[in-house]
A and B are shown apart, each in its own frame.
Chain A
Amino acid sequence: MNHRHLLPNEIDLLVDGEAGFGVAPLRAHIQECPECRERLEDARVVVEALEALPHFAPDSRLADRVMAQVPVFVPAHVAARDTVRRWLPQSAAARIAALAVAGASAFTLTVGMIWLALQGDAVVFVTGLLGDRIRTAVTSAARDLAVALLGDAALSALQGLGAIGASLLLLAFLLGAVGTIAGIRRLAVASRRA
């Protein structure tokens, strides 16, 4: 038997369950030395008591109190990503289907635009024809309205004034309208004060 008793740090090595080349002689000594065995047992009792210590529970409102003081904000890139995700289907199959539909739509639109670009002359002709028809319809409707409001004679006189005369007449009409509105408003304010 090794007559040297174990040093305190050697007892600690055994308590901590260390393994290795240097530990085997210590274990052998423990087998043969009742005093060191008792010291080791005392150390183990302390460690077991420590390891049995419970965790204490804080107040149940701790999390609420902490979060009341912690600023939580969503970074811009996360908010954008979340917005996109809200529109995406959840399941993989639905996402594949959505991707297929989007791809087909994009393909169809692209082909259509290319075809239209290749039919340039026809596009110009159709656009011009439509434009003429719309212009004719608007002009006709405006003339009918003017006749209904002013009568044939007045309309003829207006046409005789030309563009400048018509603009002056329109300006006079607008000034008259604004003046009328302002006058009515003043009367309303004056009557409230009274």
Chain B
Amino acid sequence: MPRALDLANLPDADVVALALEGREAAHRELIRRYERPVFSLVFRMVRDRELAEDLTQDTFVKVLSHLDRYRSDFKFSSWLFKIANNVAIDHLRRRQLDTVSMHGSPNAVTVEAQESTRFDVADSAENALEEMQAKELGSAIERAIARLRPEYRSCIMLRHVEGRSYEEIASTLDLPLGTVKTYIHRARHELRRALEHTRE
């Protein structure tokens, strides 16, 4: 049985194989690898931290409980993101939350709760002015993403935050390649318009 350190160096398919052999450490390694990207995707979809925690947990429970259905000719991460996206989209459809308040979670009932559910993006600029501009841009882009349609949001997040190719996104979301390109193009266009004021 590979040690914990060795698991970190194994490719996803090998870790999945170990998980199918009943190794709990392999299950935990898969969670460790993808908890942040999955949570980030879901959080930006639903804009509520507590809800995103629950949906992320649901995603991993679904994936790890049905690992025997995973096909190794498909990337594990793509399969995982597919399920995460479906979980988030299903929730949004049930809650009819196609547009989300930019002022924090719609479930926030106190000022503190609203503040804690807004985004504060860290930056790495060199001086105070650049720092302020970067912070403003970072927050502005988050607010702009929140206003995108869920389908556009999924595509743009997978493309630019997760670094997936168009073909991988099409495969992950079960969409035609042309549709993915259209969604990303439209998302970029909307984000550009939303950020115009920060460029002045």
Contact = CB atoms under 8 A, between A and B. Distances in A.
A6 interface: no
Given A49-B138, A72-B24, A75-B22, A62 B60 contact: yes
30 contacts: A9-B185, A12-B181, A15-B188, A43-B188, A46-B195, A47-B160, A47-B188, A49-B141, A49-B195, A50-B141, A50-B159, A50-B191, A51-B160, A52-B138, A53-B121, A55-B36, A58-B53, A58-B56, A59-B53, A62-B31, A62-B57, A63-B32, A66-B31, A66-B61, A67-B28, A70-B65, A73-B22, A74-B21, A74-B22, A82-B1
Interface residues of A, number: 34
Interface SS of B by simple majority: helix
B39 A57 contact: yes
Interface SS of A by simple majority: helix
Contacts, number: 109
Interface of A: 8-9, 12, 15, 42-43, 45-47, 49-59, 62-63, 65-67, 69-75, 78, 82
Interface in B4-51: 21-24, 27-28, 31-32, 35-37, 39-40, 43
Given A46-B188, A58-B36, A58-B56, A66 B64 contact: yes
A8 B37 CA distance: 29
Interface residues of B, number: 43
A56 B9 CA distance: 23
Contacts of B161: 50-51, 53, 55
A113 B180 CA distance: 76
Contacts of A57: 35-36, 39
Nearest to A56: B40
A24 to B, nearest CB: 21
B192 A53 contact: no
Interface string B78-112: 00000000000000000000000000000000000
Contacts of B22: 72-75, 78
B184 interface: yes
Interface of B: 1, 21-24, 27-28, 31-32, 35-37, 39-40, 43, 52-53, 56-57, 60-61, 64-65, 121-122, 137-138, 141-142, 156, 159-161, 163, 181, 184-185, 188-189, 191-192, 195, 199
A62 B53 CA distance: 8
Contacts of A71: 65
A138 B191 CA distance: 103
7 smallest CB-CB distances across A and B, nearest first, come from A74-B22, A50-B160, A55-B36, A58-B39, A66-B60, A49-B141, A70-B64
A74 B188 CA distance: 48
